[in-house]
Amino acid sequence: MTVVAIHLGEARNPELWPVESVRAVAGKGLEGDRYFFEDGAEPGRALTLVEEEVVEDVGLAAGATRRQVTTRGVQLNDLIGKRFRVGEVECYGVELCEPCSHLERLTLPGIMRELVHRAGINADILTDGTISVGDEVVEL
């Protein structure tokens, strides 16, 4: 159950770029990302995660789902309503992160249908720390 990729992006720019690690700030998000909220993120807006197995199954490249953290070997949907740790960062699974029409415009026709209920999760960041490729994902 590990982090296999991290992708960040800028506001209004469809391109995401891979990073080896990123600083997570409790209640705000990932530093340097379009969804970093200096005044505090709404519940479930600080962090998004997706399973690599799903990304591969639908034929997308890592990062193409627009989620920040890609994992392998963990059933992310099972973390809704639970605390978990990504590397040294404690998180809380808030809700499913369902696909949207913006994702479909950027990727493949029909991708919304293929990703319903398996496009990842939205989470809150509860503690500051660093998330790195290779970190473990552990339910607490």
Q: Hey, what domains does the chain have and what are their CATH numbers? A: 2-11+18-139 (2.40.33.20)
Q: Does 10 score more than 90 pLDDT?
A: no
pLDDT mean over 43-68: 91
Q: Which of 29-33, 72-76, 78-82, 109-113 has the lowest mean pLDDT?
A: 109-113
Residues 6+ apart with CB under 8 A from 130: 21, 22, 23, 24, 87, 88, 89
Task: Calculate mean pLDDT across residues 100-126.
Answer: 87
* Mean pLDDT confidence for 78-107: 92
What's the average model confidence in pLDDT over 46-72? 92
